């Protein structure tokens, strides 16, 4: 725990379609406080989100529907096929997302909570792992990831592979993570692993809290 706060921060991440969102839901059912980067992103890019004007200035009206709403699918197609455009979007959204997440952590800390998960798809890519006391990776092999992504989002194989390739490799994420959760099996197996790790984490955070009070 940082000297400036009393709350323990765990970064939760995983490649696209690896099961990270399901893992976060399970942790929430166990009582964990989860701050979700995707949910914050949707809020910041929906009306009257603070990043909309900057996105319009950078990408123009073509990424907005006639109603004025951001067309996320159209924007995604642009940035995943153009690294320069993707970097421009990241420069707009990532600082706002990170600030909002840290504001929520601060609120939880002030409320006396001792543990919070940051659910961040690009945890390592954006450097947000540096803000965490430890990191958890939800892992599955690329073949299964590809199958899940194609089924979930209705993508063809070419586009799905491009999405996977745009992220840090599983090998590199595994090397960086403190805890790796294998999600190649059934959901009950995922739940069992998460439950075991979460119970151990709660005990560790409780012990650290007691040590700080001594």
pLDDT in tens, 85-109: 999 999 999 999 999 999 999 999 9
Q: Which residue has the higher pLDDT, 68 or 191?
A: 191
- Quick one: average pLDDT of 120-146? 94
Dihedral (C-alpha) 61, 97, 42, 15: value to the nearest 10 degrees? 110
Q: pLDDT (tens digit, 9 = 90+) per residue, 16-56? A: 999 999 999 999 999 999 999 999 999 999 988 999 999 99
- Residue percentage of the chain with pLDDT more than 90: 79
> Looking at the predicted structure, is the pLDDT value of residue 214 above 80?
no
- Quick one: average pLDDT of 176-196? 96
From the CB of residue 156, how many other CB atoms can be counted at a distance below 10 Å? 8
Q: Where in the chain is the domain with CATH 3.40.50.300?
A: 6-33+113-214
- Using DSSP, state whether 122 is helix, strand or coil: coil
Question: What fold, for 6-33+113-214?
Answer: Rossmann fold (3.40.50)
- Please give the pLDDT value at position 108: 96
- Quick one: average pLDDT of 164-171? 90
- Quick one: average pLDDT of 140-164? 89
> Looking at the predicted structure, is the pLDDT value of residue 148 above 80?
yes
As a whole number of angstroms, the distance between CA 188 and CA 194 comes to 10
Q: Is the peptide bond before 105 cis (omega within 30 degrees of 0)?
A: no
Report the candidate in 187, 175, 170, 191 with the shortest Cα–Cα distance to residue 135: 175
As a whole number of angstroms, the distance between CA 190 and CA 192 comes to 5
- Quick one: average pLDDT of 167-181? 95
Residue positions counted in the chain: 214
From the CB of residue 119, how many other CB atoms can be counted at a distance below 10 Å? 27
- Please give the pLDDT value at position 2: 52
Q: What's the half-sphere exposure (Cβ side, CA atoms, 13 Å) at 114?
A: 12
């Amino acid at each position: 725990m940082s000297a400036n706060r009393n709350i323990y921060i765990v970064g939760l991440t995983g490649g696209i379609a690896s099961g990270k969102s399901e893992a976060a839901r399970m942790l929430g059912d166990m009582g964990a406080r989860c701050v979700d980067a995707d949910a914050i992103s949707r809020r910041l890019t929906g009306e009257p989100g603070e990043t909309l004007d900057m996105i319009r200035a950078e990408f123009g009206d073509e990424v907005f529907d006639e109603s004025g709403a951001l067309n996320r699918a159209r924007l995604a197609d642009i940035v995943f096929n153009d690294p320069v455009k993707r970097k421009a979007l990241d420069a707009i959204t990532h600082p706002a997302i990170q600030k909002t997440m840290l504001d929520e952590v601060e609120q939880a800390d002030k409320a006396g909570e001792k543990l919070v998960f940051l659910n961040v798809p690009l945890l390592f890519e954006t450097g947000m792992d540096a803000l965490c006391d430890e990191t958890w990776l939800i892992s599955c092999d690329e073949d299964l990831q590809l199958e899940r992504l194609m089924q979930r989002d209705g993508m063809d194989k070419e586009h799905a592979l491009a999405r996977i390739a745009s992220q840090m490799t599983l090998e590199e994420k595994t090397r960086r993570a403190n805890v790796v959760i294998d999600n190649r099996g059934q959901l009950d197996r995922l739940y069992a692993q998460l439950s075991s790790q979460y119970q151990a984490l709660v005990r560790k955070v409780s012990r650290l809290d007691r040590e700080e009070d001594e």
